Amino acid sequence: MSNSPISTLGVLGAGQMGGGIAQVAAMAGINVKVFDSFPGALDKCKAVHAKSLAKLVEKAKLTKDAADAAAARISFVASLDQLTGCDWVVEAVIEDVRVKKDLLAKLAAMYPSDDVVLATNTSSISITDLATAAGSTAHRVVGMHFFNPVPLMQLVEVIPGIQTSPAVVERTIALATAMGKTPLRANDRAGFISNRVLMPMINEAFYAWMEGVAEPQAIDGIMKLGCNFPMGPLRLADFIGLDTCVHIMNVLADGLNNDRYRACPLLKQLVIAGRLGDKTGRGVFEYPAK
Does position 231 interact with ligand CAA (CB under 6 A)? The reply is yes
Report in angstroms how near the CB of residue 7 gets to ligand CAA at its nearest.
25
Q: Which stretch binds ligand CAA (CB under 6 A): 147-155, 178-186, 213-221, 279-287?
A: 147-155
CA dihedral 276, 273, 95, 50 (to 10 degrees): -30
Instruction: Enumerate residues 60-119 that contact ligand CAA by CB under 6 A.
Output: none
**Residue 162 to residue 165: CA distance in whole angstroms:** 8
Please give the positions annotated as active site. Answer: 123, 145, 157, 195
Q: Which helix (H) or strand (E) holds 270?
A: helix 265-272
Cross-strand bridge partners of residue 10 = 33, 89
**Judged by CB, which is closer to ligand CAA: 175, or 242?**
242
Q: Could you tell me if 120 and 141 are in contact, meaning their C-beta atoms sit under 8 angstroms apart?
A: yes
Does position 203 interact with ligand CAA (CB under 6 A)? The reply is no
CA angle 95, 97, 103 (to 5 degrees): 95
Does position 227 interact with ligand CAA (CB under 6 A)? The reply is no
Q: Which helix (H) or strand (E) holds 122?
A: none
Residues 6+ apart with CB under 8 A from 230: 224
Other beta carbons within 10 angstroms of residue 111's beta carbon come to 22
Cross-strand bridge partners of residue 142 = 119, 160
Report in angstroms how near the CB of residue 113 gets to ligand CAA at its nearest.
30
Q: Which stretch binds ligand CAA (CB under 6 A): 71-79, 150-158, 161-169, 256-264?
A: 150-158
Q: Which stretch binds ligand CAA (CB under 6 A): 102-110, 126-134, 145-153, 204-212?
A: 145-153
Q: Could you tell me if 154 and 132 are in contact, meaning their C-beta atoms sit under 8 angstroms apart?
A: no
Does position 266 interact with ligand CAA (CB under 6 A)? The reply is no
Instruction: Enumerate residues 17-56 that contact ligand CAA by CB under 6 A.
Output: 52, 55-56
Does position 236 interact with ligand CAA (CB under 6 A)? The reply is yes
Binding site for ligand CAA (CB under 6 A): 52, 55-56, 123, 147-149, 151-153, 194-195, 230-231, 236, 240
